[in-house]
Chains A and B, each alone.
Chain A
Amino acid sequence: MRIRWSIVIAVFVTNFVFGYSVDAEEAEKSALAAVEEKVKETVPAVLDILRKEEMASEEKGDKILDILSPVFRFELMAKLTLGRQYWGQLTEEQQEEFVDLFVKHLQMSYIGKAEHFADKEIHYGDAEWLGSGRRKILMNTYVFINDSKNVIKYKFYKQRDGWKVYDIEIEGVSIIRSYKSQYVDVLEEEDVETLFEKIRSKVDKKKCQLEEDVDAGEVEEEEEEEEDEDEDEDEDDKNE
C-alpha cells in the first residue's frame, strides 16, 4: 500500500518538476530573444534620429526620449542612482522631481555620447543572463570607432510589464554607478535641494551648449578610455 502511494507521489513530483523546467526553459529562451530583439530595434531607431542633420538638438532629444521610454525604466534607474538610503529620505514630490531631473540629465549625456556613434558600424552580441536568479539580462553591442572596438552593454531587469533597461555600460563605465557617486557626494555634504539645483543648472547649461554645437557642425568621435590619455600631452607641450 505504502509503495503504491509513494509511486503516485513520485509520478506527481516528477511530473510537476518536469512540467516546470520545460516551461521555464522556454520562457528563459524567449526572454533572451525578446531582449535581443528590443535592442536591435531600439538602437537603430535612435541612431536614425541622431543622423538627421536638419533636426534641432532639442527635438532630437524629445524624439529619442519617446523611443527610449517604453524600453527604459527611468523610475528604477533614478531610484538605483540615489540608492536605498537617500531615496527613502525623499518625500513623494521630491522623488517625482528627482526622476524628472535625472531623466533630463541622462538624456543630455546619453545623446551627447550617442552622437559619437551615430555614423559608426554597430555589431550585436548575444543576450546573456546576468547574476543569479534569472532576473537580469545583459546585451552586448560593439561600436567600431577608428577601427577600435568599443563595448556598450545594455542591462535589463524583469518587470511586471516585460524587460526594461536599468543601466548602460560604456567601456566598463556604468551610468548608474558614475551618477550615483556624483549625487551621493553632494548629498553627503549638502541637502536634496542643493543637489536638485546643481542638476538643474547642468541641464539648462547643456541645452544651450548643445544648440551651439549644432551650429558649429561636425561631431568628432572616440571613447572616454582615451580622454585620460588626452591630458598626457600636457607634458609634451610644457616641454616645448
Chain B
Amino acid sequence: MVQGLTNKLIRGSVVPLGLLMCCVFWPFGSAFAQMENGADSSESAGGDFDAFSEEFGEQTTESEKRDPLEPYNRVMYNVNDTLYVWVLKPAARVYSIIPENVREGVDHAFKNVKYPIYVTNNMLQGDFEDAGINTIRFCMNTTMGLGGMFDAAARCFDLRSEREDFGQTMGRWGLRPGIPLVLPAVGMSTVVDALGRIPDDYLNPVSYVDGRVFTMTRAVEKLNLLSLNWKVYDRLKEEALDEYTYLRDLYLQNREEKIQE
C-alpha cells in the first residue's frame, strides 16, 4: 500500500520533473561548452608550453641541430660569403642598371627552359596534374610569352604550378633533406639535395650547349637571379645572430615545406 503510493507519486512527478530538468539544463549545456572553451585559454605558463610542445618542442631543435659537418660548413660558408660580398654583390649591383622588369623577364625565360626538370620530377612524384599544367605552361609561355620572357599562362589563365626538383622527389619518397652541407661557391644545401642536383643538371637543356657558352649562360642566369634577390639576402644576414645557423635553418625549414606541399 505504501509502496504503491510512492510509486504513483514518483510516476506522477518523474516525467514533469524530467522535462523541468531538461529545460533547466539546456542553457547549462552551452554554458558548460563555453566554460570549457574558456578554460582552454588558460594563460598559465605550463599550459602555454604544453599546447606548443609538438610545434616548437625540443625535438624540433634537436633534429635541426643534426649538423655533423658543421665545422667544414662554417668554413665554406665564410669562403662563399667573402666571395659574395667582394665579387658577386658588386657585380649584381652593376648588372642592376638593366631595368627590373627586363631582369624579371630574363629570370622567367631561364625558368621556362628548365621545363624538363619540373615535368620529370612531377611525374616521378606521381603528380600528373602538375606535370600537365607545367606542359601547358611551357607551351604557352614559349610561344605567347615570347620564349618564356612573360609568364602568360599565369597572367592570362592563372595557370601556376610548383617547380619541383630531384631533391624534393627524393624527399617525397622518404629520403629527407637530412644533413646540411654547404657547397663550395653554390651555397646552402644538404647531402641529399646536393646529389639531387646531378640528375637535374642532366635534365637542364642548358647543360647540353657547348662548354664556353654553357658557362656564360649559367653565369648570366645566376647573376640575373642575384640582382633580383641580393637585398633580401642581405636583410636575412642582418637579422641573424649567427648567419650560418640562421640561413641553414631557413633553408631546412623551407625545403621541408616544399617536400610536404
Contact = CB atoms under 8 A, between A and B. Distances in A.
Contact of B250 (A146, A178, A185): A178
Contact of A219 (B87, B160, B231): B231
Given A224-B250, A228-B187, A231-B186, 6 more contacts: A231-B80, A231-B88, A231-B185, A231-B188, A233-B226, A240-B219
Q: Please report whether the interface of chain B is mostly helix, strand, loop or mixed according to DSSP.
A: helix
B28 interface: yes
Nearest to B248: A181
Q: Which 7 A-B pairs have the closest CB atoms?
A: A172-B257, A233-B222, A231-B187, A19-B29, A234-B185, A8-B18, A236-B219
Contacts of A88: 45
Contacts, number: 264
B56 interface: yes
B185 A159 contact: no
B21 A8 contact: yes
A96 to B, nearest CB: 15
Contacts of A71: none
A147 interface: yes
B235 A171 contact: no
Contact of A228 (B21, B49, B188): B188
22 contacts: A8-B15, A20-B32, A23-B30, A79-B49, A80-B56, A116-B232, A134-B40, A178-B250, A182-B242, A184-B61, A202-B239, A221-B232, A222-B229, A226-B225, A226-B229, A230-B229, A230-B230, A230-B233, A233-B218, A237-B83, A237-B91, A237-B219
Interface of B: 7, 10-11, 14-15, 17-18, 21-22, 25-30, 32-34, 37-38, 40-41, 43, 45, 48-49, 51-56, 58, 60-61, 64-65, 80, 83-84, 87-88, 91, 100, 104, 107-108, 151, 154-155, 160, 184-189, 215-216, 218-219, 221-223, 225-226, 228-233, 235-236, 238-242, 245-247, 249-251, 253-258, 260
B261 to A, nearest CB: 8
Interface of A: 1, 4-5, 7-8, 11-12, 15-20, 23-24, 27, 76, 79-80, 83-85, 87-88, 105, 108-109, 112-113, 116, 131, 133-136, 146-149, 157-160, 166-167, 169, 171-174, 176-178, 180-186, 198-199, 202, 205-206, 209, 219-240
A111 B34 CA distance: 37
Contacts of B255: 172
Contacts of B242: 182, 185-186
Contacts of B246: 178, 182
B235 A113 contact: yes
A173 B188 contact: no
Nearest to B54: A131
Contact of A4 (B15, B27, B247): B15
B107 A146 contact: yes
Contacts of A230: 84, 88, 187, 222, 225-226, 229-230, 233
B8 to A, nearest CB: 11
A5 B13 CA distance: 11
A235 B187 CA distance: 9
Nearest to A223: B232
